[in-house]
A and B are shown apart, each in its own frame.
Chain A
Amino acid sequence: MDLKELYQDIILEHGKSPKNFGKCEKYTHEAKGHNPLCGDQVHVYLKLNNEKNVDNVTFEGTGCAISIASTSIMTELVKGKSLETAKKIVIDFLNMIKNTQEIKSNDLDEDQKIKIMSLSGVKQYPMRVKCATLAWHTLTSAINGKKEEVNTEVID
C-alpha cells in the first residue's frame, strides 16, 4: 500500500497545523482521552448554546499525525452543527473506520466528506485505528458528561 493513502496531504496539514487547538472560552462540556499504548492524550472542550448547537469545540493534546489530524478534522466537522447532527457524524465516522462503510451522511458537504474520507486510510493499519478514533470517543464522552477519562484500551 502507498503510504500516501495513509498520510494524505489533508492529514499532514491538519497534523502540522491543527484547527481549533487550545481551550475555548466558556465551554460547557469537556472530556479527556488517553491511548496508553502510545501515550496519545487529548482533551476536548465543547461549548453548547441554549439551542443545543455546537457553538465551539476545541482540543488540546499530543499525539501522532493521525490522531492530531483526526481530532482537528473532527472539530471542523461538528462545529456549528446541532448536537444531534454532531452525534450522527461521530457514529458515521466510527462506522467508516471500523466497518469500512462509506460516508453517506446528509449532514456533511462534499468538501467535508473528502476531509473525513481522508482518514479512511488507517483501516489498512489496524494498529493505528485507535489513533484515529480516540478524539471521537472523547467527544462522545464529553457530550455524555462522563467523568472518567476515555481509555482506548478499554473501549475499542
Chain B
Amino acid sequence: MDINLIKSQFPIFTKKIKGKPLVYLDSSNSSQKPTSVLNSLDYFYRNEFSNIGRSIHSLAVNATNKYEETRTSIKNFINANSKDEIVFTKNATESINLVASTFGQENIKKGDEILITELEHHSNYVPWHYLRETKGAIIKFAPINDDGDIIISKLKELITSKTKIIAVTHLSNVTGTIVPIKEIVEIARKKNIPVLVDGCQSAPHIKIDVKDLDCDFYAISAHKVYGPTGVGILYGKKKWLEKLPPYIGGGGMINEVNKDKITYASVPEKYEAGTMPTAEVIAFNESIKFMESIGIQNIIKHEKELTNYALEKLKKINSVKIIGNPKNKAGVISFVIKGIHPHDISTIVDEEGVAIRAGHHCCQILHNRLNLSATARASIGVYNTKEDIDILCKAIENCRKVFELK
C-alpha cells in the first residue's frame, strides 16, 4: 500500500492551515474526500443531472441506474443478502431514528425495555429516549469496564422477557473499542431479540459482513467513509423492512394513492420518500470503490500500525493519559493531559495545522462513566502517516510548553 499515492488522491492535503501542512486527525468526526468522489459529484451535476425514478427520459434512466448501482455496491460492501435490504437515508442518525420510530410504533409498549450500552453516541440513545418519553419504555445501559470494553456478562444479565431490542455500536468513537457484535447477536438470538448495530465508526475501518454478524439492522454514514455528506445507509433484514411501517411519507414511497386509501411501495423505496440526495448517493459509490481499490485488509493493517505507533509515542509524553484500553482497539485515540483542558489542547495544536477534536464527542454518558467532562481525540484515517503522528506529538509537547508543564 503506497501511502503517498493514497494521500495524493485527497486534494485537501495540498492546502495549508495557518501556513502549515494539514495534519488531519479528525476522521472519526468526518473523513476527507478523494478526487474520485469530488469528480463524480461535479460530473453528475454538469453532465448527467436528473431526478431519479420518476421520468422515463434518458437522463432520468441513467441517473436511476447509477443510483441503484451504489445500492448494489453497498450490498456487496457489507455482504447483505439483497440490494433491497439497503435503504438510503440522510445519515446514520436518521437510519437509527427510522428504526426506533417504526419499530417502536408496533413493538414497544409501556414498560418494555430497550438495551443499549454506555459506549453509545447520542445518535444511538436519543432516538430510543423518544420511546421512553412517548411510550414509557425503559432504557437500560450495559456497563463498560475501565478499559472501555462492554461487560458482556452484565449485558446478558440485563436482558429480560421485556427486552424488545438491543442497540449497540460496532466501534466506539471515543475509546476505539471494537465491540464483539457477533457474540452479542448470538446472545440476543437465543431470546429472539433483534439487534441494531451503529456502524458509523466501523464502516471505514473494519470488514463489515452483516450476514456473518447476523444483526437485524446496521447504520452507516457516507461522510465518514470518504463519501459525501447527506447520505446514510440503513441495512435491515428484509423481513423487518417489509414488516415495519413506513417512516417519512411522500412521493416515491407510495404504490397507489386514492382519496380513501394509500398503498406503499415495496422496500427499499418504501423508506425513500421525496427527492433523495441523488448526486451524493452516486458519488458514494466512488468512495466504496476507493476503499475496495486499497483493500480493507490493507486499510486495517495500515491503521493498526499507525494506531500502535501513536499510542506508543503518546504514552511517552509526560502527563498524557490515554482513555480506555480495550481488547480490540481501532484508530480512535482519546486522551487527556493533566493540567491542560482538551479545548486548550485543540486550540494550541491547531496552530501547527493539526486538526483533532475536543469535547465529549456526543458521548456524555460515556464521559460521565469515566468521570471526565471532556477529552481530546485524535482519530486516524487511511491517509494518515507516521509523520502526522510525529507532528501531533510535537504539537502536544508545545501545549506543555505553553502551559509551562514540567
Contact = CB atoms under 8 A, between A and B. Distances in A.
A3 B351 contact: yes
B344 A64 contact: yes
Contact of A39 (B344, B347, B359, B403): B359
B367 A39 contact: yes
Contacts of B364: 39
Given A65-B340, A65-B341, A39 B402 contact: no
Interface string A114-129: 0000000000010110
Given A7-B344, A63-B341, A39 B404 contact: no
Contacts of A4: 402
A12 B343 contact: no
Nearest to B405: A16
Contact of B344 (A37, A41, A62, A65): A65
B339 interface: yes
A7 B373 CA distance: 21
Main secondary structure of the interface of B (DSSP, over half): mixed
Interface string B350-375: 01000000111000100100000110
Interface residues of B, number: 19
A38 B351 contact: no
A41 B358 CA distance: 15
A6 interface: yes
Nearest to B360: A39
B333 to A, nearest CB: 19
Contacts of B38: none
Contacts of A38: 342-343, 358-360, 374
B17 interface: no
B348 interface: yes
Nearest to B348: A3
Contacts of B344: 7, 64-66
A38 B339 CA distance: 17
A28 to B, nearest CB: 28
Interface string B319-348: 000000000000000000001111110011
A97 interface: no
A65 B373 CA distance: 14
A57 B403 CA distance: 27
Contacts of B367: 39
A134 interface: no
A39 B376 CA distance: 13
A62 B344 CA distance: 13
Contacts of A150: none
Contacts of B403: 7, 12, 65
Interface string A1-32: 00110110000100010000000000000000
Interface string A50-72: 00000000000011111000000
A64 B373 contact: no
B348 A64 contact: no
B287 to A, nearest CB: 28
Contact of B373 (A16, A41, A66, A125): A41
17 contacts: A3-B402, A7-B402, A12-B402, A12-B404, A16-B339, A38-B374, A39-B367, A40-B373, A62-B373, A64-B342, A64-B343, A65-B341, A65-B403, A66-B343, A66-B344, A128-B347, A131-B343
Interface of A: 3-4, 6-7, 12, 16, 37-41, 62-66, 125, 127-128, 131
Interface of B: 339-344, 347-348, 351, 358-360, 364, 367, 373-374, 402-404
Shortest 3 CB-CB contacts between residues of A and residues of B: A64-B341, A64-B343, A39-B373
Given A3-B347, A62-B373, A65-B344, 12 more contacts: A3-B348, A6-B347, A16-B339, A38-B374, A39-B360, A63-B341, A64-B342, A64-B344, A66-B344, A127-B347, A128-B347, A131-B343
